[in-house]
Amino acid sequence: MNRIAAMACAGMSFGCLDPDVLYEVEICGTVTSADVGPVELWFLHNEWGNDSLETHYMIIDTLWLDEATTFSQVLQVPQGTGTGMSVYGWQDRNEDEEHCRPGTAPELSGLVDVEDYPAHLVEIDVTLDTPCEGPEGL
């Protein structure tokens, strides 16, 4: 397959692109919360894109946990314009799969910057202690 693809690519008059590069990271840790309920984790680039496309906190992957507990996830992190890594979590206290929908009780959230990234194995602790905030507000 690789040879066929490479030959087909080389056969084109305008050459081949550089490969898409993925950086594999095994990220594990513990989520702590004073509340109960499922937790959703967002694995994020701190910054992504150039010029007018530049944005904060671009999602790389997500993970649902049954409760605030330990976790382990292998990420394939696209390399390119993305820099840094953070993990955001929020707790779905009322299990409606919405974070702080109007008229419902506050739900906790938290954000941690993965300072050891880039590394293939990192460990973090995420504390959910701020009600109703997105990554930008934390």
Partner 1 sequence: MISLAILLWVASAFAGADPWVSAAPGQVRVGLHSGFPWHGADVIYAPRGPVAVTGHVETARFQRTEVRAGVQRPWVVSPKWSVLTVATVGGVHQEGEVSRQGPQVGAVFMVTRLGRVEPFFSLHDRELFSLQSVQTLTRVGEETQWTAARYSSRGGSLGMRVPIQTQWCLNVAIQAGSVDSAFAIPSLLLGMSWRSKE
Query: Site residues (CB under 8 A) for partner 1?
Result: 1-2, 5-6, 8-9, 12-24, 49, 53, 76, 79-81, 120-121
Q: Enter the DSSP assignment of 111.
A: E
Radius of gyration of the chain (CA): 19
Closer of 22 and 138 to partner 1 (Cβ): 22
Question: Residue 5 belongs to what H/E stretch?
Answer: helix 2-11
CA angle (4, 7, 13) in 5-degree steps? 140
Angle at 91 between CA 89 and CA 96, to 5 degrees: 125
Tokens 């701020």 -> residue:
130
CB closer to partner 1, 80 vs 134: 80
- Taking the complex as a whole, the smallest distance from the CB of residue 38 to partner 1 amounts, in Å, to 30
CB of 28: closest distance to partner 1 in angstroms? 14
Least separation in angstroms between CB 58 and partner 1: 11
Reduced to 3 states, what is the DSSP secondary structure of residue 95?
coil
Which residue lies nearer to partner 1 by CB, 8 or 105? 8
Cα–Cα distance, 61 to 113 (Å, whole number): 15
* Residue number, 12 or 95, with CB nearest to partner 1: 12
Output the smallest distance, CB 135 to partner 1, in A.
Answer: 21
